[in-house]
Structure 1
Amino acid sequence: MFARLPLTALRTFESAARLASFKGAAEELCVTPTAVSHQIRALEELLGVSLFERLGRRVSLSADGERLQRSLHGAFLEISRSLESFQPVGRDDSLSLTTTPAFAALWLIPRLGRFYRTHPQIRVRIETSNGLADLQRDASIDLAIRCGFEEFPQLLRFPLMSEHFCAYGTPQLLASLPEAGVELINVAWTTPQVGELPSWEDWNAAIGEDWVAQAARRDYPDEHYALQAAISGQGLVLASSVLASDSVATGLLQPYRSDVTLPGPQYRAVCVPGRERQPAVQAFLRWIEKEAAAD
């Protein structure tokens, strides 16, 4: 049944597609770039389609190439997991995830101890970046936790929690409001977004207080820094209810005009189809969905 499957060519294609590079695939597979090119060409001739668009020294997947890459990644992942099941029992399980620095520091890390207490055998490796990781190309990442308006049609999506934006400040600062001398802490968003995130202009339009338009503003490059600035009493911050939740729970921050909130996007966990069946990923998804529901 499988005697005619071009396994070498398919493995070569998967590597080149994931790395977006024939040279990178050659290094990963310990062959020459010419050998990679020959395998890809043979596979294209067999299938009767072009799998890559050649752009000088660079390559990118064609529409047919993207379709093949999606199915191959899941198939090779299943084979890899099957082989791992024969390894000696008792080794630590692990998973790797990527998320934003702010979500990791302000929400995930403070709660992760509860996961380790119930799953001491699982190791979680966290990578942080404000850029979006391409899970279909980077096989080293099992799971991504993101907040945004993207649909991620090629990935499995697990809704976690929706956020809203509110103005927060220290109890001491709020006791003195409103007054013109209060500064507004602003986040210079660097996280890629498809939709628009709330701004101080949106909040001012909703609240209708003249002093807001006249207040000085201070920009920070990340929500983590902006919230820390607010905690130190530097001013009001327009922040995510999810990221501010622990600071509010401990009394470090309080919402100003809690009746005025602006809708934000949803936090979701996403993964390549097939990864959700990995035991460590299954356990983590069950745990984080329970934590999100509790919030």
Structure 2
Amino acid sequence: MFASLPLNALRAFESAARQQSFKAAAAELAVTPTAISHQIRTLETWLGMPLFERLPRRVRLTDGGERLFHSLHGALLEVAQSVDSLRPQRNASQLTVSTTPAFAALWLVPRLGRFYAVQPHIRLRLDTNCAVVDLHQDASVDLAIRYGFAPAGELHGIRLFEEHFAVYGAPAQVAQARHQTPSLISVLWHNSELYARGWEAWCTQAGEDWLKQGATIREYDDEHYALQAAIAGQGLVLASSILVSQSLASGLLQPYRAEIGVPGAGYSALCVAGRERHPPVRAFFDWLSQEAG
């Protein structure tokens, strides 16, 4: 059944497609770029279709190449995990989770002690970056926690929670805002349009004319910094109900007119289909579900 499959060529293709580079694939497989090119030409001839567009200084997958890559990568990943599970000295305790710096600092890290308490054998590494990791192409990341409206697509995932945006401040700032126009803290976040019109939407709902009164607006490029500025008494912040939870619980921040909120998106935990069966990934999914309530 599998005797005619060009396995070496398929392995060369998967590496080149994942890294979008024949040279990188050659380095990974310890062969020459010419050998990689030859293997892929052989595979293209065998299939009767091109898999890559050869562009100046780079390559790009064709539509057929994309289809083959997603199928092949998932299959090889599952084979690798199955083989790894049989090895007596395997390292099955490593888990790499990708998320944003703000979510890591404000929600995940403060709760990780409870994960370590129930899973002390799992060594967790956080990969914090605002850039979206392509889980199909970066096999080093086991699981990603992402924010947004879009569905997971071909990924396996669970929805953790939905959020809304409300206004918070240090206790003294909240009390002062009832009598005079406060300074407003906002976030210049390239992954969301919520902050761009968030204050305007909140003020409209609340019937506050702070913007018309020329309130000072202080801008930060990360939610973590914005919350720290609010804690330090620099003004009121429009913040995520999820990311502000620890500051509220500790009393560092208080809501201002808690009944007023601006709709947000939500957070999901995602992985490549099939990887959720890997024990550390399954354990982390289970723990996240419990923490999210």
| Contact residue 198 and residue 262 of structure 2 kept, 8 A | no
> How far does residue 228 in structure 1 lie from its aligned partner after superposition?
0.5
| In 2, Cα distance between equivalents of 1:131 and 1:30 | 29
Structure 1 position 121 matched with structure 2 position 121: yes
Letter in 2 for 1:101: P
| In 2, Cα distance between equivalents of 1:20 and 1:218 | 41
| Higher mean C-alpha deviation, range 171-180 or range 251-260 | 171-180
Report the equivalent of 2:274: 274
Report the equivalent of 1:220: 220
Report the equivalent of 1:27: 27
What's the secondary structure of 2:227's corresponding residue? helix
Letter in 1 for 2:210: W
> How far does residue 92 in structure 1 lie from its aligned partner after superposition?
5.6
Shift in alpha-carbon separation, 1:207–1:282, aligned structure 2, 3 A:
same
Report the equivalent of 1:286: 286
Report the equivalent of 2:173: 173
Shift in alpha-carbon separation, 1:215–1:178, aligned structure 2, 3 A:
farther
Report the equivalent of 2:200: 201
Report the equivalent of 1:141: 141
| In 1, Cα distance between equivalents of 2:90 and 2:77 | 21
| Contact residue 92 and residue 280 of structure 2 kept, 8 A | no
| In 1, Cα distance between equivalents of 2:265 and 2:236 | 21
| In 1, Cα distance between equivalents of 2:120 and 2:167 | 38
> How far does residue 5 in structure 1 lie from its aligned partner after superposition?
1.2
| In 2, Cα distance between equivalents of 1:91 and 1:47 | 37
| Contact residue 52 and residue 59 of structure 2 kept, 8 A | yes
| Higher mean C-alpha deviation, range 75-84 or range 174-183 | 174-183
> How far does residue 180 in structure 1 lie from its aligned partner after superposition?
4.5
| In 2, Cα distance between equivalents of 1:177 and 1:87 | 63
> How far does residue 141 in structure 1 lie from its aligned partner after superposition?
0.3
> How far does residue 63 in structure 1 lie from its aligned partner after superposition?
1.4
Structure 1 position 98 matched with structure 2 position 102: no
Report the aligned-residue RMSD. 1.5
- The superposition leaves residues 263-283 of structure 1 with CA deviations (integer Å, 9 ceiling, x where unpaired) of 101100111111111000000
Q: Which runs of 4+ in 1 moved over 6 A?
A: none
Matched-pair identity in %: 56
| Contact residue 188 and residue 219 of structure 2 kept, 8 A | yes
Report the equivalent of 1:72: 72
TM-score (norm 1): 0.94
> How far does residue 179 in structure 1 lie from its aligned partner after superposition?
4.5
| Higher mean C-alpha deviation, range 225-234 or range 35-44 | 35-44
Letter in 1 for 2:73: H
> How far does residue 154 in structure 1 lie from its aligned partner after superposition?
2.1
Paired positions, count: 291
Report the equivalent of 2:260: 260
What's the secondary structure of 1:137's corresponding residue? coil
What's the secondary structure of 1:243's corresponding residue? coil
Structure 1 position 36 matched with structure 2 position 36: yes
Please show how residues 50-65 of structure 1 align to structure 2 within 5 Å.
50-65=50-65
Letter in 1 for 2:122: I
| Contact residue 203 and residue 210 of structure 2 kept, 8 A | no
| Contact residue 180 and residue 211 of structure 1 kept, 8 A | no
Shift in alpha-carbon separation, 1:40–1:179, aligned structure 2, 3 A:
farther
> How far does residue 211 in structure 1 lie from its aligned partner after superposition?
2.4
5+ residue gaps, structure 1, are none
| Contact residue 166 and residue 260 of structure 2 kept, 8 A | yes
Letter in 2 for 1:55: L
> How far does residue 87 in structure 1 lie from its aligned partner after superposition?
2.0
| In 2, Cα distance between equivalents of 1:21 and 1:151 | 29
| Contact residue 179 and residue 211 of structure 1 kept, 8 A | no
Report the equivalent of 1:161: 161
Please show how residues 175-190 of structure 1 align to structure 2 within 5 Å.
175-190=175-190
- The superposition leaves residues 202-256 of structure 1 with CA deviations (integer Å, 9 ceiling, x where unpaired) of 2122222112432101111100000000011110000100000111111111111
Letter in 1 for 2:200: E
| Contact residue 74 and residue 274 of structure 1 kept, 8 A | yes
Report the equivalent of 1:249: 249
TM-score (norm 2): 0.95
Report the equivalent of 1:8: 8
| Contact residue 184 and residue 218 of structure 2 kept, 8 A | yes
